[in-house]
Amino acid sequence: MSARVTVVGGGVIALLTAVECVLDGHKVTVVDQGPIPHSRATSFDQHRILRALHPSDPQATAAALRAHRRWVELEELFLTRFYEQVGALTVLPPAAAAEAAAMLGNAGGSVRELTAAGLSDRYPHLRVDGGLGAVLEDEAGVLLAERVLAACVGWLKWQSGIDLIEHRAVTAVDGESGNVRLVDGRVLHGDAVLVAVGPWSRGLMPEGIAERLTLFRQSLLYCRVPRHQAQAWASTPAIPALGTKGGAWLIPPVAGTALKLTSATACRVVDELTDYATDPYWQRRLEKEFGDLLPGFGPAWVTAAKDAYYSSFSETGGPLVVALGGDAYAYAACGGTSFKFAPLIARSLADRLTGRIPSQIGLGALDGLPLDALAPQLAGR
Ligand SMILES: Cc1cc2nc3c(=O)[nH]c(=O)nc-3n(C[C@H](O)[C@H](O)[C@H](O)COP(=O)(O)OP(=O)(O)OC[C@H]3O[C@@H](n4cnc5c(N)ncnc54)[C@H](O)[C@@H]3O)c2cc1C
């Protein structure tokens, strides 16, 4: 039977859940405080990494391989190219690299292990600690995030039974009745409701949940690589870990995007969402960190800097699904890795919203009952 589903938010989780609900034959209303998509959403950026390898976590690794396959299917569904399968390189101590490569291989991934010498031969434009090795995986790469959101919206607009409401913040959600109140006083009624408002979640969560969400702010540098390195960068995979103590990582300049540099050292806990400008202190800090990692790198490479926010469930550092009563749920915290898993998360949420047993996706408590704190491994990238 067709249900009426209200989806609050226009980020990757909300939009892909709307897509899954429409594919199941339901009527869907998506409502966002801004345009859909909104440039302030956490999901709105040039790119996101899709990697299968989650060291020491075979379940998350297998789930990420399934997510990879679903992203490829979604490209076909939306008739849009947004997944640059350039692979992913994770720099690790040699013993950990061997273990990780074996695990990924066992999960069905196509993987190569690189020695320190292999790394420097292959990537002379990276300066990696000489004692480290790496895992290079093939079913991985870069999701062109803004293009993903645009493709979802483009596809949804052509479907029947879909309504997109822009520039209307939701001020209250009543799960039991399925009522969603908008800032202009209008009330939307649905048989089921999903709230997926990313880092804004604290504002819409019930007492007892809101204070258990931690808000993070992270600085990012966008760079133009020098012409003489352009070819080397064109064949560089996404690098979720450069093997540094600080947790530096980067996304290569694929499909006309910038080289993006950031690090766990540029991620800090904040009290509230304010502006998105990068303070010179954080910019300089990242420039210094990458000066040690990329030969020739300097401030002249940087064309832009931006801050972004995400929230996580304080007790695990990862995502959180919350039951709001009736057939209402919230994806209350996205953690630092939800983009790549979004097709699986969306399927699981769509099942819950429409009274089906949620698909088992192999991501900790997303497979269990809400209040669901996902496994801490999802806190990393
Ligand atoms: C710096 C950074 C790097 C990351 N890198 C990766 C990566 O490489 N790989 C990966 O898998 N993940 C990564 N992530 C995580 C990933 O981007 C997020 O988990 C994901 O985008 C969250 O999507 P979302 O839909 O939950 O939230 P959002 O994208 O933030 O969407 C929330 C939406 O809700 C709307 N909204 C808010 N309040 C209201 C309201 N009251 N009423 C109506 N609408 C409202 C907002 O306008 C927005 O459009 C990264 C995150 C950050 C910050």
Q: What is the CATH number of the domain that holds 19?
A: 3.50.50.60
Amino acid at 16: L
Q: 101 alpha carbon to ligand 1 midpoint, in Å? A: 30
- To which H or E segment does residue 240 belong? strand 238-241
Query: CB of 49 closer than 6 A to ligand 1?
Result: yes
pLDDT of residue 374: 38
In a shared domain, residues 29 and 159:
yes
In a shared domain, residues 135 and 222:
yes
Q: Does residue 77 lie within any of the structural domains? A: no
Query: CB of 261 closer than 6 A to ligand 1?
Result: no
Q: CB of 264 within 8 A of CB of 251?
A: no
Q: 75 alpha carbon to ligand 1 midpoint, in Å? A: 20
User: Of 296, 313, 330, which residue constitutes the final position of a domain?
Assistant: 313
pLDDT of residue 367: 57
For residue 312, which phi and psi values (nearest 5 degrees)?
-140, 160
In a shared domain, residues 233 and 192:
no
> How many structural domains are present in the chain?
2
Closest C-alpha among 344, 328, 346, 341 to residue 378: 341
In a shared domain, residues 231 and 370:
no
Query: Is the model's pTM score more than 0.85?
Result: yes
In a shared domain, residues 349 and 359:
yes
Q: Does residue 52 lie within any of the structural domains? A: no
pLDDT of residue 182: 98
Q: What is the mean pLDDT of each run of 10 residues along the chain (381 residues)?
A: 95 98 97 97 98 92 96 98 98 96 97 95 94 97 98 97 97 96 98 97 90 96 96 96 97 97 98 97 98 96 98 88 92 88 95 85 59 38 38
Closest C-alpha among 155, 187, 157, 161 to residue 2: 161
What atom of ligand 1 comes closest to residue 197's alpha carbon?
34
In a shared domain, residues 328 and 338:
yes
Q: Does residue 19 lie within any of the structural domains? A: yes
Closest residue CA from atom 32 of ligand 1:
197
In a shared domain, residues 101 and 201:
no
d(CA 148, CA 270): 28
Range of the domain at 134: 86-141+214-313
Residue bearing tokens 């020098």: 226
d(CA 233, CA 158): 38
In a shared domain, residues 221 and 247:
yes
User: Of 282, 313, 344, which residue constitutes the final position of a domain?
Assistant: 313
In a shared domain, residues 347 and 364:
yes
The CATH number linked to 284 is: 3.30.9.10
Q: Does residue 94 lie within any of the structural domains? A: yes
In a shared domain, residues 126 and 244:
yes
Helix (H, G, I), strand (E, B) or coil at 95: helix
